[in-house]
């Protein structure tokens, strides 16, 4: 499972670095590589905490790349791979910390199936969204922004309560 997470992390690093390299933004490619190296170090040293900053870093780099008109497809693909790596790393940690795991193969199979379908749906929606153009007025943008702030703070509170 950890190897699969490492593979996904490699894929995320490769996709984003390639996107930046395509636009000759070598610093961006280097940062993506550094995040990948941090993941690799976490894999070797058993740093379970490394997955969270790596995901945040990849998402940040994807957003930065999209802002600088680096290939959005590479960024989207890299982000989906990063999400998969983050999820699988946590799943591996969960299995490791559980002590005895009954039906390990079935649990893993079910998780991978569900993850693949959800990430596939996310990738599909993201790809469709990249091709859609909606013009928003300043008022709508402000409203959506306010809703996003309220929604995110509510979600954080909700998640903390659960």
Binding site for other proteins (CB under 8 A): 52, 55-56, 59, 62-63, 66-67, 72, 75-76, 79-80, 83, 87, 90-91, 94-95, 97-103, 106-107, 110-111, 114-115, 118-119, 121-123, 125-126, 129-130, 132-134, 136, 141, 144-145, 148-149, 151-152, 155-156, 159-160, 162
Contact between residue 2 and residue 89 where contact means Cβ atoms under 8 Å apart: yes
CB of 130 to other proteins, least distance (A): 5
Q: Which is nearer to other proteins, 36 or 57 (CB)?
A: 57
CB of 45 to other proteins, least distance (A): 20
Q: Which is nearer to other proteins, 44 or 67 (CB)?
A: 67
CA distance linking residue 92 with residue 122, whole number of Å: 22
Radius of gyration of the chain (CA): 18
Contact between residue 88 and residue 115 where contact means Cβ atoms under 8 Å apart: yes
CB of 46 to other proteins, least distance (A): 18
Please give the backbone phi and psi of residue 70, each rounded to the nearest 5 degrees, phi first: -75, 150
Can you read off the two tokens belonging to residue 121? Answer: 């749906």
Q: Which is nearer to other proteins, 40 or 115 (CB)?
A: 115
Q: Which is nearer to other proteins, 45 or 133 (CB)?
A: 133
Cα 27 versus chain centre, distance: 20
CB of 159 to other proteins, least distance (A): 3
Nearest CA to 70 out of 38, 42, 31, 34 is that of 31
Please give the backbone phi and psi of residue 122, each rounded to the nearest 5 degrees, phi first: -65, -45
CB of 146 to other proteins, least distance (A): 10
């Amino acid at each position: 499972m950890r190897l699969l997470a490492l593979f996904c992390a490699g894929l995320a690093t490769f996709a984003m670095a390639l996107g930046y390299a395509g636009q000759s933004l070598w610093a961006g490619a280097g940062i993506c590589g550094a995040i990948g190296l941090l993941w690799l170090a976490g894999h070797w040293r058993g740093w379970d905490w490394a997955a969270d900053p790596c995901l945040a870093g990849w998402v940040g780099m994807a957003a930065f790349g999209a802002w600088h008109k680096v290939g959005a497809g590479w960024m989207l693909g890299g982000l989906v791979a990063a999400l998969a790596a983050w999820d699988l790393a946590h799943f591996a940690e969960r299995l490791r910390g559980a002590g005895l795991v009954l039906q390990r193969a079935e649990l893993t199979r079910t998780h991978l199936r569900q993850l693949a379908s959800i990430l596939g749906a996310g990738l599909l929606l993201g790809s469709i969204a990249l091709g859609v153009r909606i013009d928003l007025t300043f008022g709508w943008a402000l409203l959506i922004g306010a809703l996003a702030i309220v929604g995110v703070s509510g979600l954080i509170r909700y998640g903390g309560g659960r």
